[in-house]
Amino acid sequence: MSSIPNRPISQSPDSSNPEGSVLVVGGGIAGVQAALDLANSGFFVYLVERTSAIGGSMSQLDKTYPTNDCSACILSPKLVECGRHLNIKILTLSELLSLEGEPGAFRALVRQNPRYVDPNKCIACGQCAGKCPKKVPNEFDLGLSKRKAIYLKFPQAVPLKYAIDPRYCIRLNKPGRCGLCEKICPAGAINFKDVAKEEVLNVGSVVLAPGFSPFDPSDLDFTGYGRLPNVVTSMEFERLLSPSGPCQGHLKRPSDQKVPKRIAWLQCVGSRDINRSGHAYCSSVCCMYAIKEAVIAKEDAHGDLSASIFFIDMRTPGKEFEAYYNRAIEKGISFHRARVHTVLPSQEDNNVLIRYADEHGVMREEEFDLMVLSVGLELSKEAIELADRLGVKLDPYKFIDTDVFRPVVTNRPGVYVCGAASGPKDIPRSVTDASAAALEAERILSPSRWTKTKKKVFPPERDVHAESPRVGVFVCHCGTNIASVVDVEAVRDYARGLPGVALSQDNLFTCSQDTINHMAETIRKEHLNRVVVASCTPRTHEPLFQETLRDAGINKFLFEMANIRDQDSWVHQNEPEAATEKAKDLIRMAVAKVKLHEPLPYNSVPVTKSALVVGGGVAGMNAALSLADQGFPVTLVEKKSILGGHARKFYRTWQGSIVQPYLKKIIDQVESHPKIDLRLETTVSSVEGSVGQFRTGLSDGSTVEHGVAILTVGAESYKPMGKWLYGENPNVHILLELDQIFIKDPESLKGLSQAVFIHCAGSRVPERPFCSGICCTHAITQALELKKLNPDMDIFMLYRDIRTYGQRERLYQEARSKGIIFIRYDLDHLPDVRQEGKDIVVEAEDLILERKLILHPGLLVLATGVRPRDDMGELSKLFKCSVSSDGFFLEAHMKLRPVDFATDGVYLAGLCHYPKSMDESIAQAQAAAARAAIVLSQDAVPAESITAIVDQRKCTGCGVCTHVCAYHAISIDPAVGKASVNTGLCKGCGACVAGCRSDAVTLKNIGNRQILAAVEAAMDTMDI
C-alpha cells in the first residue's frame, strides 16, 4: 500500500470552508446515482471505478423485476449522463489506495492503472479488436464467451473506449511482437508505453459504492457447479438470457447449445447457510430474480418450458413483488418448498438429476436440462481490502457496518456507503441509499456548494430570424464505419446541390474534438444558420453537436441529424449502392426539416429555495432536517398535534436499538431548528404551480411558497376488527400494541406461560394481496423480547413464509435456537381462533406432522400488515402524482427513480411509498431530500424547450387536448374558452397535437409542417 507523498499540510478543516468536491468509489448503479445527485447539486465528483467502464453488475443483467424492464436500456442513459457531466470526472481502471484527513478535508490517493489506449483519441470503431489475435475469456459474460485482449467492456460502455488487458496482450508481454492494433487503429490511439499514475485528490466527503460479488459456488460440491456443464449460476443465466450475451438472447445451454426445455432454480446457494458457505444471512434478492428469470425464460420459449424453483421460504416482500410471484404461479412456474441436497449427472445427454425431500418427507428425483444456482451476494475481496485500508468497520457478515438511525453512515466520519456493500439489496434500495449517501456527503459540505464546479459559458446567440436558410452539412466517415459502405464523397457532393445548403463537408470523425472546434469555426465564418450532421445516432451525439452550435453562437435547436451509420451503413453492409441512396435521402429529409426549425427559448423556471414536507413522522422529520441542515428553509406540516407518527408506538428496531430516545432526540432537533417552520394540526388544502414555484394553501388559511415538496404521510396498521378475537379479547393485540406494552409495562408480560403469533394476519389474501415485508421481522423481534422477559415462555409462530430478508435472518436463527416454535400454515389450513370462557384457543394444523395442534395462549399477537391511508388519494390529486393499485404512492420509476414522483419537484419517502423498516424509511427520506436539494441548489430549473403551442384563432375549445395530456399541461382557459399550454408542465410528447381536430396545436420544431417536409423530401426522387 502506498502512502500519500509528503506535501504541505493543508490548513485544518474549517467547517465554514470545506472542500466542495466528493470522491465516489465504485461505478455501479449506486455510485453513478450518488455521483449524479452530488454533481447536480453543486459538488465536483471524482468517480473511481476499478474496471474499464462504469455500469457495474446492473449492466450485466437481462431484465429487472418487477417491471421486466431491460436492464441495460434503463441504465444506459444514466451512464451517458455521468460520462458527459462537466462536474464528474470518471477515473476508470482506478482504485483508492489511502485516505487521510478528516471530514471536509480529505486527501485521497488514487492509482489509475494504464489503459494503453488514449481515450481522447479512441473512437471505438472496434477495428483493433477485429485484428487482435488473442482470444480470452470475456469476464462480462462470466467466461461464457470470448473477447479479445483489446476490448470494450460491453457495447454501451461509458466511457466508450477500448482498453488493453495487460494480462493477455501479446505485445505487452513480449515486446516487439504483434502490435496489430497499433497498426490498424485509424485514430492512432494505441499507446503501449502507458503507465500507472497516482494522484492525490482533495475531497470533502467519500462515498463508498463498491457493490457486491456473486457468491462463487465452486466449493459447494453438492451443486455440481464446475463439474456438470449444465449447472450455471444465476448471473451466468442472466448473460445467457441477455440479447447482448453469448447466445444473443436465445437461451441455449452450455454443454451442447440445445434449447433447454426443463430448468430448475436452486434457491439459497450461498445464503441462509451456515454449514457450507458460512453465509448466515439472506441475500434478499434471489427469490425475486429467480422468479424473474423463470418468467422471462418461459416467455422467450413461448411457454414451451417447464420451470421449477426449489426454495425454503419464498421471500417477495417488496413493492409489487407478491403480485409478481402470484403471476408467476398463474403462468405455470412451479414452486417446490424443498432444499435440494444432491445434484447428479444424468445418464444421458448431460442432463442434471436432483434429489430432494418434498414437504411430506417423500424422497423425489427429477431430471432437468439446465440448473440455475440462485447464488447469494457478498462483499468482494477487493471491497473488503478497501474497507480495511480506510479503517471502515464491517458487520459480522462482512458487509460494511452502518448506523441504525443513519443508515448510510460508516464508523469513519465523512465516509458513507451505499448499495449492496452495506447489505444485500436490490436496485431500488441501492439507488435510494445512493441518494441518501449523497445527502450525507453534502450535508457538511453545503457551504462550499458550487465552489469546485465548472459552469459552461456560451457566447450570445445570433438572431437568425431575418436570414434565409444557410444550411451547413457535415458528413461523417466514422473511420470506415460509414465510409466502407456509403460513398461519403458522393453524398457530400450531392448535399451541396440541395436547396438552402450553403456548405457541405466530410470529416473522418465528426465528433472528435478537433472537428468539433473546426465545425464551430465554420459556422461562424460561413454565417451558417442551420446545421445537419450526417453521422451516427442523435440519441448519443445530438447533445454534443448542439453544444457546438451554442459555442458558435447560434441557437442549438437549429440542428438536425441524419443517422447514416446505425440506421444505414451498419444495417445495409452488403448493399453499398442502396445505402448511399438512403444516406442521400436521409440528408435531404434532414435539410428539408431543419430549414423549418426556429430558435427556441432555453426555458427555465426560477426556484423558490424552500421546501414543504407533508407528514411529521420519522421520514418527514428526517427529510426536513436533511434540508434545513443545509440552510434551506422547510415548512413541516403535520396533521396531528404531535410529531413522531408511527414511531411513537414502536419499541425496538430489528437491529436492536430502542426507538423512543432516538425519536425524542429528533423531535427536539426539529422543534428547535431555526430553518424549520413547524405547523402542527395542519393539512394541505390546495396546490398551485410546478417545480421551482409551488404555492400551497394550508388548512390554517396560510399560503406557503416553495420550490419542492416531499410527501411523507405514512400509513396505518391494519386492525382486523372482529377477526381472531381482535377487539373482543383483551389479550389479543396487533404488533404495535404489544410494542406499547414493552414500552410502558413490560413487567406485566413476565407471568405469561404461552404466547402465539399469527403471521400474515390479513396480508397476502385476495383483499390485501401485498406483503408488508416488515411484520415477520417485527414479530420475531417481539418473540425474542418475550423470551428475554421469561425464558420459560412457550412461543409459537404460525407463519406462511418467514421473510426475514438480509441481515434480519439472524433474528430468525436466534429465535429458532432459543426454542421458539415455527409452524407453517397455508391458505387451505388457516389457524382457527376462538374463545372458551376467558381463554383464547388457537387451533392450527402442523403441515409437516399432519396433525392438529391446540394452543391456549395467554397472549395472541396478530402480525398484521400496513395499509395505506385513506386520505392519500386527495393529496395525490393535489400534487398530481399517482397511487398504485395497492393504494400506496407510485414513484416515477420503480427501479431508478424510487423517491421521485413523475411530477417534477415532488418526492416521497417512508411508509406512504410502501411498508418498510425504520432504517429504510430514514434512507428514503434522506434520498428524497437529496433529490429535492438538486432543485433547491439551482437558481432556476430548466424546462422543456420543445413544447406545444396553441394557435387560439384556430382552437374551438373542444378540450380533446386536455384529455390526452398526461401532465395536465394544457387546459381550456375559461376566460376565452380556448386551450393554452403551461410551458412549465409540458414535456413535449405531442399527444395534444395529434389529438387536436382543428390543427390548432403544434409542437415547436416537430410540428406537422416539419414532419411533412421530411416525408415529402423522402419521396422526392426527381432531383437525383
Partner 1 sequence: MDKTSVQKKEWEPKIIAFLCNWCSYAGADLAGVSRFQYPPNIRVVRVPCSGRMSPNILLDALKAGADGVLVSGCHPGDCHYISGNLFARRRFAIFKSLIEFLGIEPGRLNFSWISAAEGEQFAKVVKEVTERVRALGPARRLVKEI
Name the residues that contact partner 1, by CB under 8 A: 69-70, 72-73, 155, 243-244, 248-249, 537-539, 563, 565-568, 570-575, 578-579, 581-582, 585-586, 589, 902, 946, 964, 966-967, 987-991, 993-995, 1003, 1006, 1008, 1011-1012, 1014-1016, 1018-1019, 1021-1022, 1024
Nearer to partner 1 among residue 259 and residue 989 (C-beta): 989
φ, ψ at 392 (rounded to 5°): -95, 130
> Which residue is associated with the grid cell 434503463?
74
Nearer CB in complex with partner 1: 61/206: 61
Q: From the CB of 959, what's the least distance to partner 1, in Å?
A: 15
* Minimum distance, C-beta of residue 534 to partner 1, in the bound complex (Å): 13
Q: At what angle do helices 1008-1019 and 576-594 cross, to 10 degrees?
A: 150
Residue 736: Cβ within 10 Å count = 17
Query: CA 382, CA 210: separation in Å to the nearest integer?
Result: 9
- Smallest gap from Cβ 559 to partner 1, in A, equals 13
Nearer to partner 1, 586 or 667 (CB): 586
User: Can you tell me the distance from the alpha carbon of 775 to that of 911, in angstroms, rounded to the nearest whole number?
Assistant: 13
Min. distance of Cβ 585 from partner 1 in angstroms? 6
CA distance 128 to 163: 10
As a whole number of angstroms, the distance between CA 1024 and CA 1022 comes to 6
Q: Helix or strand or coil: residue 607?
A: coil
By beta-carbon proximity to partner 1, the closer residue of 64 and 205 is 64
- Kindly write down the DSSP assignment for every residue of 703-772, as one continuous string: EEEESEEEE----EE---TTSTTTTTSTTEEEHHHHHHHHHH-GGGGTT-SEEEEEEEET-SBTTB-S--
Closest CA to 148 of 172, 166, 132: 132
Nearer to partner 1, 693 or 1008 (CB): 1008
CB of 990 to partner 1, least distance (A): 3
Nearer to partner 1, 840 or 996 (CB): 996
Q: How far is the CB of 913 from partner 1 (least distance, A)?
A: 19
- Look at residues 863, 851, 855, 825 and name the one whose alpha carbon lies nearest to residue 755: 855
Smallest gap, in angstroms, from Cβ of residue 949 to partner 1?
Answer: 14
Query: Long-range contacts of range 968-977, CB-CB < 8 Å, 24 or more positions apart?
Result: 968/880, 970/1001, 976/952
Nearest Cα residue to 432 out of 57, 901, 922, 38: 922
Q: Cell numbers 451443486 label which residue?
A: 223
Min CB(573)–partner 1 separation in Å: 6
CB of 879 to partner 1, least distance (A): 16
Cβ at position 900, least distance to partner 1 in Å: 14
CB 182 within 8 A of CB 191: no
Q: Which is nearer to partner 1, 192 or 570 (CB)?
A: 570
Closest-CA residue to 865 (of 977, 734, 757, 775): 775
Interior CA angle at 55 toward 49 and 57, to 5°? 100
Nearer to partner 1 by Cβ, of 589 and 936: the residue is 589
Q: Which of 134, 96, 105 is nearest to 2 (CA)?
A: 96
* 72 vs 756 by CB, closer to partner 1: 72
Quote the CA–CA distance of 394 and 710 in Å, as a whole number.
33
Q: Comparing C-alpha atoms, which of 287, 291, 305, 290 is closest to residue 250?
A: 305
Q: Minimal distance in Å, beta carbon 987 to partner 1?
A: 6
Q: Could you tell me if residue 164 is left (phi over 0), alpha (psi between -120 and 50 degrees) or otherwise beta?
A: beta
Measured from the CB atom, the residue of 243 and 942 that comes closer to partner 1 is 243
CB of 177 to partner 1, least distance (A): 31
Q: 558 to each of 494, 514, 532, 598, 603, how far by Cα in Å? A: 21, 22, 9, 6, 16
Cβ proximity to partner 1: between 637 and 1001 the closer is 1001
Kindly state the helix (H) or strand (E) to which residue 507 belongs, with its residue range: strand 501-507
- Report d(CA 144, CA 156) in Å as an integer: 19
Nearest to partner 1 of 49, 568 (CB atom)? 568
Do the Cβ atoms of 472 and 500 come closer than 8 Å?
Answer: no
Q: 571 or 848, CB closer to partner 1?
A: 571
If the CB atoms of residues 297 and 775 are measured against partner 1, the closer one turns out to be 297
Cα–Cα distance, 46 to 25 (Å, whole number): 8
Nearer to partner 1, 642 or 1012 (CB): 1012
Question: What is the rounded CA–CA span in Å between residue 736 and residue 742?
Answer: 10
Q: For residues 965, 967, 972 and 975, what is the CA-based torsion angle, rounded to 10 degrees?
A: -170
Provide, rounded to whole angstroms, the least separation between the CB of residue 943 and partner 1.
15
What's the min distance (Å) between Cβ of 882 and partner 1?
Answer: 9
**Smallest distance from the beta carbon of 571 to partner 1, in angstroms?**
5
Nearer to partner 1, 783 or 991 (CB): 991
Distances in whole angstroms, Cα of residue 920 to Cα of each of 363, 811, 869, 886: 41, 18, 19, 20
| Number of residues in the chain | 1024
What lies within 8 Å, CB to CB, of 69 at 6+ separation is 63, 895
Give min distance, CB of 72 to partner 1, in A. Answer: 7
CB of 74 to partner 1, least distance (A): 9
Cβ–Cβ under 8 Å, residues 189 and 164:
no
Q: How far apart are CA 860 and CA 733, in angstroms?
A: 6
Position 991: which residue type?
A
What contacts 517, CB < 8 A, 6 or more positions away?
none
- Which three-class secondary structure string do you get for 98-115? EEEEECCEEEEEEEECCC
* Shorter beta-carbon distance to partner 1: residue 185 or 589: 589
- Nearer to partner 1 among residue 498 and residue 552 (C-beta): 498
> Please, what is the minimum distance in Å from the beta carbon of residue 28 to partner 1?
20
